[in-house]
Structure 1
Amino acid sequence: MPVLLHIDSSPFAESSVSREVSAAFRAAWQAQHPDGTVIHRDLAAEPLPHLDAAGISAAFVPADQRSPEQAAALALREQLFTELEQADAVVIGAPMYNFTIPSSLKAWLDHVILMGRTAGDAPSAAGTPVTVVSSRGGSYGPGTPRESFEFVTTYLEKVLTGMLGLDVDFIVPEFTLASVNPALAEFVETAKASKAKALQDAEQKAKALAV
């Protein structure tokens, strides 16, 4: 039975474009896989703890020598490893905050990356298709004044592909703050078009996974 891992990291429930687009991807995927399973990790509603010393060291300590803190930390990481490894597809909502990803998503990455298992020479989830919805309030694409400030897609491409061996694609809805920021008022229609394209791309990418 196919499995979709759906990760959201925006703290906004109602006005989040990344959530709306990731939900559109999920709906299209479920329509193609009516018998499939969706694992939804809402990192804003249920944030993961930051990876601490117990979580880092536990994987390298024999089971009978782990402290209770190490055992609990590794149990959480094991759950996250397994969710990624079991997924046939992944969709990640990754809005830009202060030029990079939300800290809640960084915490998930820190937990799920383990050299010798999910990362390294033979990553355990290698080749899994991942669609990242990287929404942003303005525009940071090639040729824009703030191109050099873009650390969402550049970082995630390196981590998800370079470390975890995943097959990553991006959907980038822009100018999401145009309707509320007077300085971006001239881009309201651009924002609408960008969002519409993102929703269309999400549906198409999800449907393509069924081929």
Structure 2
Amino acid sequence: MAHILQIDSSPRGDRSFSRKFSDEFITAWKNAHPEDKVTYRDIGHNRIPHVDESWIAAAFTPPDARTPELTKAIELSDTLVDEFLAADRYVFGVPMYNFNVPSAFKAYIDQIVRAGRTFAVTEQGGFKGLVEGKKMLIITARGGDFSPGSPAAPYDYQEPYLRTIFGFIGITDITFINVENLGAGDQAREQSFAKAHEAVAQAVANW
């Protein structure tokens, strides 16, 4: 039995395309694997706070040396890290904002990428990811066409960043479904939807 952590990061509701296809995947997956567990977190509507000075002090203070204030400052991060580590697989819905991820999703990443929890610093000064043997599916929604070879492709800092940051903590088995060109009119949008529906079905079959 797999344990999936599903996260949506769009502030939009029913009009969100990243939510539309992450929900489509999870619905199809649960139909095929009813025994699997899904934990859901909506950070588009329930925002994760950004890292602040108290958080930094807490993160670099041993747990047994933290004051009550520092323990409180890192409490949500501990919860998010525990939740992240408890899952075997991840399904993230992430719209593209200004060529990268929304600040809500960046705040989430900053809360879970933590020394001693999701990565380690080696004696040689290098880094080692501590989250291994996991799979991740990231569904993005983009107003333009950022596919390889397109004029806008060099502006795609979203997929490279997500591959880098999750690879840094040890997750390298990452599948992307990029729903492209959503702002180019009805015909282009329908073509993108058709490709995304097919990609979701393939992911359900092969993930």
Output the TM-score relative to the length of structure 1.
0.87
Structure 1 residue 32: Cα displacement: 2.6
**Aligned 1:63-78 pairs, distance under 5 A:** 63-78=63-78
Tell me the SS of whatever aligns to 2:136.
Answer: strand
Instruction: Return the match for 2:177 from 152, 157, 171.
Output: 171
Q: Does 2:153 align with 1:155?
A: no
Task: Supply the AA of the counterpart residue of 2:134.
Answer: T
**Aligned 1:55-70 pairs, distance under 5 A:** 55-70=55-70
Task: Supply the AA of the counterpart residue of 1:155.
Answer: Y
Residue matched to 1:146: 152
Tell me the SS of whatever aligns to 1:93.
Answer: strand
Tell me the SS of whatever aligns to 1:5.
Answer: strand
Structure 1 residue 15: Cα displacement: 1.1
**Aligned 1:25-64 pairs, distance under 5 A:** 25-64=25-64
The superposition leaves residues 112-141 of structure 1 with CA deviations (integer Å, 9 ceiling, x where unpaired) of 001232124553321311011111001112
Superposed structure 1 runs of 4+ greater than 4 Å apart: none
Whether the 8 Å contact between 1:4 and 1:36 is mirrored in structure 2 is yes
Q: Distance in 2 between matches of 1:170 and 1:101?
A: 14
The superposition leaves residues 168-196 of structure 1 with CA deviations (integer Å, 9 ceiling, x where unpaired) of 1100111212xxxxxx33xx323212222
More divergent stretch after superposition (112-121 vs 16-25): 112-121
RMSD across aligned C-alpha pairs, in angstroms?
1.8
- Unaligned runs of at least 5 residues, structure 2: 121-126
Residue matched to 2:97: 97
- The sequence identity of aligned pairs, in percent, is 35
Residue matched to 2:197: 199
Q: Distance in 1 between matches of 2:200 and 2:83?
A: 22
Q: Distance in 2 between matches of 1:203 and 1:83?
A: 27
Tell me the SS of whatever aligns to 2:129.
Answer: coil
Q: Distance in 2 between matches of 1:164 and 1:57?
A: 25
More divergent stretch after superposition (195-204 vs 37-46): 195-204
Structure 1 residues 166 and 57: CA distance shift in structure 2, 3 A: farther
Structure 1 residue 161: Cα displacement: 1.5
Structure 1 residues 125 and 31: CA distance shift in structure 2, 3 A: farther
- How many residue pairs end up in the alignment? 201
The superposition leaves residues 67-115 of structure 1 with CA deviations (integer Å, 9 ceiling, x where unpaired) of 3332123221111111111112101111111111000000000000012
Whether the 8 Å contact between 1:117 and 1:123 is mirrored in structure 2 is no
Whether the 8 Å contact between 1:119 and 1:165 is mirrored in structure 2 is no
Tell me the SS of whatever aligns to 1:48.
Answer: coil
More divergent stretch after superposition (148-157 vs 112-121): 112-121
